[in-house]
Amino acid sequence: MESKGGFSGRLGFVLAAAGSAVGVGNIWRFPYLAARDGGGLFIIVYLILVLTFGFTLLTTDIAIGRKTQQSSIRAYQTVRKGWGFLGFFTFLVPVFIMTYYGVIGGWISKYIVTYVVSSGEQAAGDTFFTDFITAQYAPIIFALIFVFFTALIVFRGVEKGIEKVSKFIMPILLVMIVFISIFSLTLHHEDASGTVRTGLQGLAVYLIPNVKGMTAQGFMQVLLDAMGQLFFSLSVSMGIMITYGSYVKKDVNLGHSVGMIEVFDTVVALLAGLMIIPAVYVFSGLEGMAGGPGLIFISLPKVFVSMGAAGKWFGLIFFIMVAFAALTSCVSVLETIVANCMEIFKSSRGKTTVILSVIYAAASLLICLGYNKLYFELTLPNGATAQLLDVMDYISNNVMMPAIAFLACILIGWIVTPKWVIDEMELTGDVFRRKKLYYIMVRFVMPVMMAALFLQSTGILGKIMG
Ligand code: PFF
């Protein structure tokens, strides 16, 4: 078997891991959840959770990866005999996610092309998004192009592919997002009724906690939303950080790296809100912010049109940025599947990547058809109406991830005990600063909260509470 390769050093690892973490979750999901869940209230809850839950899960995954030097299927078996099932279960999450991530990447790419060839007015049409995703061929072609680029990066390997691309993309992404968010704050607009709204008022809507009419149950929902977002955003409990951790050299201080990944991911999410919420507020008022999942594909293009000639360029830069973010995330999903398969089948990177890419090209095609020939409407246990893509998303994010996090915390907290992870964190002789916090979280807090999250997101909790 050829060697797996690895990151050249800490920076390469941190940027690649941040590349995985920063994705459509930060730019698309975080702002609409913040808009829906009381602005600053959601932000405060989220920040506390990142520093406790996010930290614990990220530390656990990365330490398991580096200590065992293996990807999830083998890694859990190495942590403890008999726990290989958890590794397999974890492996299935990227297997599901990969079926639709390329499709979303394709949607984003379509917007880039639209802004290149037109003024962007077309993209702001009410039915543009739906017309596109339900079309017969176009979404398939865009998805295949996106999967092709993802595969190309994975094919080139860890250092020459993933690390190199992340070192190039992540700093550019950060600069672009800072630039657009500052611009967003300077916006102002007078609507038909003569009301003037400014970017700074939008900033207040975003940052000031809105607790009006908040009930205990409402707060619980905010908490659970923030927790679900955290999993998705940090790419934890899906084996990705285990695989990336397995590529880190033994002389890298993991505690610092975990801290940097947390900060990078959270700063990008906060900036994404800063960029989107004031802009949407200025041009569409409070009602515009109720756009939910359609926020970036439907509401934002309207905002760009209202900006006049500059809108085309902002639209273009914005969607290039989202595409970059999605690409490095998609790479991490495919890499995790490739790495697991290479270990199990003892096959080469090239061959494994090619075979898996063909399989995923076919899977993406099926998912695209889910909006067309294979269209159906299914009501999920949590009450949402779903198409094929949402079903995949639901199984991986709502059902499997909390269950995996729960089992991983039981394994580390109670079976091998937290010392197993703490030793790896202190391998370089550095102090693991949040050691006590880690111990309490992994042993006591996480299992209870993960069980609650699992029951809530599968709809079981709702049934119990009537
Ligand atoms: N963490 C990425 C985001 O916030 O968009 C999303 C993601 C990447 C989810 C990789 C799942 C995944 F396997």
| CATH number where 174 lies | 1.10.4160
Task: For ligand 1, say whether the CB of 332 is within 6 Å of any of its atoms.
Answer: yes
In 295-443, beta strands by DSSP E: 378-379, 385-386
**Cα angle 394-242-155, degrees, rounded to a multiple of 5:** 90
- Decide: 133 and 139 in contact? Cβ < 8 Å: yes
Continuous H helices in 289-309: 300-306
Would 331 be classed as within a structural domain? yes
Specify whether the backbone of 429 is left (phi greater than 0), alpha (psi in -120 to 50) or beta: left
Q: For the CA atoms of the chain, what is the radius of gyration?
A: 22
- Span from the CA of 417 to the centroid of ligand 1 (angstroms): 28
Q: Is the dihedral of CA 376, 379, 380, 386 positive or negative?
A: positive
Task: For ligand 1, say whether the CB of 199 is within 6 Å of any of its atoms.
Answer: no
Quote the number of domains for the chain: 1
Ligand 1 atom nearest to 333, measured from its CA: 13
pLDDT at 232: 87
pLDDT at 381: 77
Would 1 be classed as within a structural domain? no
- Decide: 388 and 366 in contact? Cβ < 8 Å: yes
- Of the candidates 76, 73, 150, 72, which has an alpha carbon nearest to the alpha carbon of residue 108? 150
Ligand 1 atom nearest to 235, measured from its CA: 1
Task: For ligand 1, say whether the CB of 329 is within 6 Å of any of its atoms.
Answer: yes
Q: Is 370 helix (H, G, I), strand (E, B) or coil?
A: coil
Ligand 1 atom nearest to 21, measured from its CA: 1
d(CA 379, CA 367): 18
pLDDT at 1: 42
This prediction has a pTM of 0.93
Would 2 be classed as within a structural domain? no
- Decide: 355 and 53 in contact? Cβ < 8 Å: no
Residue nearest to atom 11 of ligand 1 (CA): 235
Task: For ligand 1, say whether the CB of 25 is within 6 Å of any of its atoms.
Answer: yes
Would 4 be classed as within a structural domain? no
d(CA 58, CA 240): 10
Task: For ligand 1, say whether the CB of 233 is within 6 Å of any of its atoms.
Answer: yes
pLDDT at 2: 47
Buried b (16+ CB within 10 A) or exposed e, 63-102: bbbbbbbbbbbbbbbebeeebbebbebbbbbbbbbbbbbb
Task: For ligand 1, say whether the CB of 274 is within 6 Å of any of its atoms.
Answer: no
Instruction: List the pLDDT tens digit at each of the 466 positions of the chain.
Output: 445 789 999 999 999 999 999 999 999 889 888 988 889 999 999 999 999 999 999 999 999 999 999 999 999 999 999 999 999 999 999 999 999 999 999 999 999 999 999 988 999 988 999 999 999 999 999 999 999 999 999 999 999 999 999 999 999 999 989 988 998 899 898 888 899 999 999 999 999 998 888 888 888 888 888 988 998 899 999 999 999 999 999 999 999 999 999 999 999 999 999 999 998 889 888 777 766 667 788 878 988 888 888 889 989 999 999 999 999 999 999 999 999 999 999 999 999 999 999 999 999 999 999 888 888 888 887 677 778 778 888 888 888 999 999 999 999 999 999 999 999 999 999 999 999 999 999 999 999 999 988 888 887 877 777 6
Residue nearest to atom 8 of ligand 1 (CA): 329
The two tokens of residue 218 are: 């409402």
Would 216 be classed as within a structural domain? yes
- How distant, in Å, are the alpha carbons of 69, 101, 157, 236, 464 from that of 344? 14, 24, 18, 22, 41
pLDDT at 207: 94
- Span from the CA of 32 to the centroid of ligand 1 (angstroms): 16
pLDDT at 218: 86
The two tokens of residue 133 are: 């995703």
Specify whether the backbone of 413 is left (phi greater than 0), alpha (psi in -120 to 50) or beta: alpha
Would 3 be classed as within a structural domain? no
Question: Which domain, by its residues, includes 93?
Answer: 10-465
Backbone phi, then psi, for 253, in 5-degree steps? -75, 110
d(CA 77, CA 111): 44
Would 268 be classed as within a structural domain? yes
Would 39 be classed as within a structural domain? yes
Ligand 1 atom nearest to 240, measured from its CA: 13
